[in-house]
């Protein structure tokens, strides 16, 4: 009998991680195996992770996607995550020790994103961001829910696009802002809810100008300590369209289309 050889393009390109009965018991091991197959744009990999708490830090790989299986919150990553040109989906990030942002990305591609879809994260550390972008990469967030006591999202470079997300600062213990922007090429938030809290109460703090910057159909809820919903160091060019806010923005923003209603 002639042995049938399966072309590389038809090989299985996914692995299962589970506490029992999967291909691997850790996500790190599944990532290591995927790396041996040299995944690329036309031969991408998926790692399916079954419910459980996985105490491991992850260095993601280009074109290797990680998807949680089960209800929201069923798959918990107890570790720090370094992003890549890949997608993380239906994962919960929960880390209460150590230092540094829960999720960091320093990629260089302005067109191929690091995606987070339907992910959740919480941090009770008063000096830890949830998500940090520090280079010219692109991050896309879809239906994510993040809550922290420091900067929930911090952007120093690159581009961030967030759609249908909830970004919240801890109302009592928070020491920073849901969105903190100190530089970058672009940011765009669409249909997002931003909730300020803690010692500042502000939803967005903008330190530096960004070439393409806009909020579309977002809602801003100021915390009790704040006097405005959006603030900055100096005048910034930010497009705001169809947005609601419990309180006005600072004069530096001067938004033309921000409806202020304390009841939103």
Q: Are 86 and 67 in contact (CB under 8 A)?
A: no
Q: Are 206 and 184 in contact (CB under 8 A)?
A: no
pLDDT of residue 255: 65
pLDDT of residue 256: 64
The secondary structure of 122-182 as a DSSP string is E---TT--SEEE-SS-EEEEES-EEEESS-SEEESSSEEEEES-EEEE-TTT--S-SEEES
- Residue 76 in tokens: 């918990």
- 35: three-class secondary structure by DSSP: helix
Q: Report yes or no on 51 lying in a domain.
A: yes
Q: Report yes or no on 57 lying in a domain.
A: yes
Q: Report yes or no on 5 lying in a domain.
A: no
Residue 174's domain comprises: 15-260
8 to 5, 16, 24, 34, 104: CA distances (angstroms): 9, 19, 22, 13, 32
Q: Are 118 and 146 in contact (CB under 8 A)?
A: no
Paired with 108 in beta bridges are none
Q: Report yes or no on 6 lying in a domain.
A: no
For residue 239, report the phi and psi dihedrals to the nearest 5 degrees: -85, 125
Per-residue pLDDT tens digits for 51-88:
999 999 999 999 999 999 999 999 999 999 999 999 99
233 to 56, 62, 200, 256: CA distances (angstroms): 38, 36, 14, 19
Q: Report yes or no on 92 lying in a domain.
A: yes
Paired with 256 in beta bridges are none
Q: Report yes or no on 56 lying in a domain.
A: yes
- 119: three-class secondary structure by DSSP: coil
Please list the ranges in the chain whose pLDDT falls under 50.
1-7, 10
Q: Report yes or no on 100 lying in a domain.
A: yes
Q: Report yes or no on 2 lying in a domain.
A: no
256 to 124, 207, 208, 242: CA distances (angstroms): 36, 20, 20, 10
pLDDT of residue 3: 40
- What CATH number did the domain enclosing 242 receive? 2.160.20.10
- 56: three-class secondary structure by DSSP: coil
pLDDT of residue 124: 84
Cα 251 from Cα 249, distance rounded (Å) = 6
Cα 246 from Cα 219, distance rounded (Å) = 8
Question: Considering its fold, how many domains does the chain have in total?
Answer: 1
């Amino acid at each position: 009998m002639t042995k049938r050889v399966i072309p590389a393009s038809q090989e299985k390109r996914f692995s299962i991680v589970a506490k029992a009965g999967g291909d691997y018991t850790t996500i790190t091991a599944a990532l290591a195996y995927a790396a041996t197959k040299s995944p690329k744009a036309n031969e991408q990999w998926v790692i399916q992770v079954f419910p459980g708490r996985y105490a491991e830090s992850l260095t993601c790989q280009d074109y290797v996607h990680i998807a949680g299986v089960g209800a929201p919150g069923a798959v918990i990553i107890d570790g720090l995550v370094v992003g890549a040109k890949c997608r993380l989906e239906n994962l919960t990030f929960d880390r209460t020790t150590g230092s540094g942002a829960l999720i960091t990305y320093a990629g260089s591609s302005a067109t191929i994103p690091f995606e987070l879809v339907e992910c959740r994260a919480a941090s009770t550390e008063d000096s830890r961001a949830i998500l940090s972008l520090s280079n010219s990469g692109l991050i896309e967030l879809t239906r994510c829910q993040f809550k922290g006591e420091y900067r929930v999202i911090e952007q120093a470079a690159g581009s961030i696009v967030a759609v249908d997300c909830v970004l919240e600062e801890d109302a009592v213990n928070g020491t920073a802002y849901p969105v903190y922007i100190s530089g970058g090429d672009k940011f765009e938030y669409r249909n997002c809810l931003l909730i300020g809290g803690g010692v500042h109460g502000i939803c967005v703090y903008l330190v530096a100008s960004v070439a393409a910057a806009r909020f579309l159909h977002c809602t801003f809820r100021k915390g009790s300590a704040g006097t405005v919903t959006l603030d900055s160091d100096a005048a910034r060019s930010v497009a705001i369209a169809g947005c609601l806010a419990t309180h006005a923005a600072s004069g530096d923003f001067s938004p033309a289309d921000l409806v202020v209603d304390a009841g939103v």
